[in-house]
Amino acid sequence: MEAGFLLQIDAPRLVRYYGANLGLSLAQCLEWAELRVEVLNDALRDILPEKVRYHTCYGMNIGPRVHEVSLQDVVHLLLKINAGAYSLAANPRHEHEWHVWEQVKPTGHNLLS
């Protein structure tokens, strides 16, 4: 990272796990995701957050995507990730979810100076 590189973590399953496991409740899927966030943060422990970008998405193809978790349900986990920047891509089913950012404000390590 001293050479000026940024590390981008691409993890689309964080928001899509719910759809892939229709027999699980939202709470069970969030519990699954919470563990992945903890493990990821442990792996990133020696990297400054401003050198990390985190990307997740709902899929960019036009296939039906009707079972993903809503951003409002997972945003608290996304913001726990020790990253200085976030990239969230969505298909038209989720185009309204930018409104979550009117209620949720990144804090602490989630803000770049």
pTM of the model: 0.79
For residue 113, how many other CB atoms are within 10 A of its CB? Answer: 4
CATH tag for 7-107 (out of 2.40.50, 3.30.750, 3.40.50, 1.10.357):
3.30.750
At residue 57, the pLDDT reads: 80
Q: Sketch the domain layout of the chain as residue ranges.
A: 7-107
For 63-102, letters b (16+ CB in 10 Å) and e give eebeebbebebbbebbbbbbbbbbebebbeebeeeeeeee
pLDDT, tens only, 28-55: 888 988 999 999 999 999 999 999 999 9
At residue 65, the pLDDT reads: 65
pLDDT, tens only, 72-100: 888 999 999 999 998 887 777 777 888 88
**Short-list 3, 5, 108, 101, CA closest to 53:** 5
